[in-house]
Each structure stands twice: as structure tokens, then as C-alpha cells.
Amino acid sequence: MSLLSVQDLHVRYRTRRGVLHAVDGVSFELAPGETLGLVGESGCGKSSLGKAVMRLLEPHSGSVRLEDLDITHLSPSELRPHRKRFQMVFQDPGGSLDPRQRISKLLQTPLALHKLGTVAERKARVQELMQQVGLRPDMAERLPHEFSGGQRQRIAIARALALHPQLIVCDEPVSALDVSLQAQILNLLADLQRTHGMAYLFISHDLSVVQHVADRVAVMYLGRIVELASRAEIWRRPAHPYTRALIGAIPVLDPRRVRIADKPMLQGDLPNPFQPPAGCSFHTRCPHAVALCRERTPALEEIAPGHTVACHLRDALAGRPEPAGQTGQVV
């Protein structure tokens, strides 16, 4: 059975500029212990999807199930006893920690809220959590500002771990860190997963980060998943022009990859999400667009086992090199 099952999820925001369809019919499954990477430019709906999965916001329609529990419309009090099963780590480790609270108190709070253990057991658990995220246990008596950005992200991860969750939604967990720290935090997340077996929904605008951690990758564009496949398949046989552009934007270190896409080919900005283009919403930036693309929205269809793509030209493009001369800039 899937750990997480998201079916035809829609998230809408009513704003002064109109109704924004931040998540527009997204479906996917996540197995226990698996990492699904969710990638796309900022503004494509990744964070809204993550928040809806966490039930930090209520979706407009569709469903979110955690194993046998349908959490789509549970009230905060109905959700509370289940909160320990799914936790979240945010981009800004500073902003998600109370500056006046010592780390020991911060890490004990979720344990106390869920009435887990005696006071002595909670203190011991704090020591254990500090060690698990690579921090000295005595540092738990410090305040958040006494830690570096990388250490604060370790603390945020320790807090997410405290209740032994089955799922952690990581929303851009390394985007605020410099590259050497990014690798350390990604390796820590991978080690913790090997030891504790939780699943990750790992959100990032950076495909190279996602490729580092994910078992499978979902590529999002304007509220929809446009391609979903295993990490290896996304790398070897990217079929959607948007995925191919994201891969093309990664600096090439491996000359064998030049064959797939030696030039970034994504042109222009993300369209106004309040008025997404008709038909395939990527057609305004797609070098392969044909008349059909402007008229009909392509459905997400399977081109190989476990590899789905929403593009009218999916079969023609999968695994093919890009034509020469398609240059542009990825935002």
C-alpha cells in the first residue's frame, strides 16, 4: 500500500487579481521509505502542493490519504493526533525557530504535546536527536542565533524527526545554504532515511539537487505535473520539453550528457499564472509547439512503465537529442 496517495488535487487562492489555480489536478503516490523529488521553477505550485499534503491548507478538491487515513478535510483537532506521522522542514531554518527558545525546549515541545515519555525520557530523546543530526548534545542549551545556517537546518530536521514521522515534506531545505553545506544536509537526510525509513516529498527548484536525493522525480509546470519517472529515466530519457530544458540548464560536467541537451532551450518567463495559456500551458515557451498544442491540453500518459509525460509529442521526443541552435536562458 502507498504511504501517501494524492488524487486529482486542486488548490485555489482567491486574490484581488482573481482566482489562482496553484495546484491544478495533481495525482501521485509515494511508497514507504521512498523519496519523490518535486521540481519546477518558483511559482509553479510546488510549495502549495507540499502545504496541501501537510494539510497546512485545505485543498479545493481531490484527496490526500496517508495510508488508510483520508486527511483531505480533517479539522485541526481531528488532525492533531495524526500530526506525528507527517512533518515538514522549510527553506529558512532561522524563520521556523523561535529565537527566544532554547533548542532543548524546542525539541521537547512536540514530545510534550503528544504526551510522549516522562520529562527525563524527553531530555534523553533531545540528546539522541542532537546526535542523530550531527550536533553535540550539550549545544541543546543554546539559543537559535548561536548556530550557523547549516546547524539551524540540522535543528529543524531534528524537530521534524522527534516524533518518528513516516513522511517528511522538505520544502527547499537547502536553498538558503551555500553549496558545500547543501551537500552535507542532503547527505544527512539520506543517512537519516536509511536509518529510520521515512519517506520524503522533496521540493526544490534545482533539478541537480533533486537528482541527488530522489528515487523518482515529478516535474511541475504551472500547477500540473508534466513528467514523472524514476531518477535514472528522467536523466536518460527526458521526454517533456520543459524537463529537457531544466536538464539543459544544469552545468555540464559529464561530457556524455551533452548528447541529451547540450544547450538550455527555455525561453521567456513563466506566463501569468492567473491567465495560464490555453491548450498545453508550456506552448508559449516550447521550441517544439505545433498548432494542436495551443488547442488541446495534453493528458499525462505512460510512455514506459512508471514514466508518464503530458506532451502531444511525447513519443517523438523521448530520448532524442535537441535540435541544434535552440538556445535560451532558464530563469
The closest alpha carbon to 210, from 222, 224, 200, 197, belongs to 200
Q: Residue 26 touches which of Mg ion, ligand SF4, none (CB < 5 to 8 A by kind)?
A: none
User: Of these partners, ligand SF4, Mg ion, none, which one is at the site of residue 303 (CB under 5 to 8 Å by kind)?
Assistant: none
Q: Residue 35 or 47: which CB sits closer to Mg ion? A: 47
Q: CB 317 → ligand SF4: shortest distance, Å?
A: 7
Measured from the CB atom, the residue of 53 and 245 that comes closer to ligand SF4 is: 245
Q: Is the Cβ–Cβ distance between 5 and 71 less than 8 Å?
A: no
State how far the Cα of 47 lies from the Cα of 172, in Å rounded to an integer. 9
Q: Tell me if 311 contacts ligand SF4 by CB under 6 A.
A: yes
CA angle 140, 132, 66 (to 5 degrees): 110
Q: Which does 298 bind (CB under 5 to 8 A by kind): Mg ion, ligand SF4, none?
A: ligand SF4
Q: Which of 245, 323, 247 is nearest to 282 (CA)?
A: 245
Amino acid at 76: P
Nearest distance, CB of residue 42 and Mg ion, angstroms = 6
Rule CB under 5 A: say whether 47 interacts with Mg ion.
yes
Q: Site for ligand SF4 (CB under 6 A): which residue of 40, 165, 238, 241?
A: 241
Smallest gap from Cβ 194 to Mg ion, in A, equals 27
Residue 307 touching ligand SF4 (CB under 6 A): no
241 binds, among Mg ion, ligand SF4, none (CB under 5 to 8 A by kind): ligand SF4
Site string for ligand SF4, 189-228 (x = CB under 6 A): ----------------------------------------
Nearest of 236, 208, 225, 252 to residue 320 by alpha carbon: 236
The one segment of 41-49, 259-267, 269-277, 281-289 that binds Mg ion by CB under 5 A: 41-49
Q: Within 13 Å and on the Cβ side, how many CA atoms surround 212?
A: 19
Q: What is the CA radius of gyration of the chain?
A: 21
Q: Give the residue among 264, 41, 59, 57 at the shortest CA–CA distance from 172.
A: 41
Q: Closest Cα to residue 25, out of 297, 286, 241, 314?
A: 297
Residue 289 makes contact with ligand SF4 by CB under 6 A = yes
Q: Nearer Cβ to Mg ion, position 39 or 162?
A: 39
Full 3-state SS string of 82-102: HHHHEEEECCCCCCCCCCCCC
Residue type, 61: S
Distance CA 128, CA 144 (A): 18
Residues 269-288 that bind ligand SF4 (CB under 6 A): 280, 282-283, 286, 288
Burial class, 219, CB count within 10 angstroms (exposed 0-12 / middle 13-18 / buried 19+): buried
Query: Is residue 44 close enough to count as binding ligand SF4 by CB under 6 A?
Result: no
- Nearest approach, Cβ of 240 to ligand SF4 (angstroms)? 6
Residues 129/111, Cβ–Cβ less than 8 Å: no
By CB under 5 A, which span of 45-53, 110-118, 225-233, 306-314 interacts with Mg ion?
Answer: 45-53
Question: Which CB atom, from 93 or from 241, has the smaller least distance to ligand SF4?
Answer: 241
Q: Distance between alpha carbon 200 and the CA centroid of its chain, in Å?
A: 8
Nearest to 46 by CA among 207, 244, 284, 183: 207
Smallest distance, Mg ion to C-beta of residue 156, A? 16
Select 56 or 292, whichever has its Cβ closest to ligand SF4: 292
- Applying CB under 6 A, what is the total number of residues that bind ligand SF4? 13
Which residue has 532551450 as its cell numbers? 265
Among Mg ion, ligand SF4, none, what does residue 289 contact (CB within 5–8 Å per kind)? ligand SF4
Which residues contact ligand SF4 (rule: CB under 6 A)? 240-241, 280, 282-283, 286, 288-289, 293, 298, 311-313
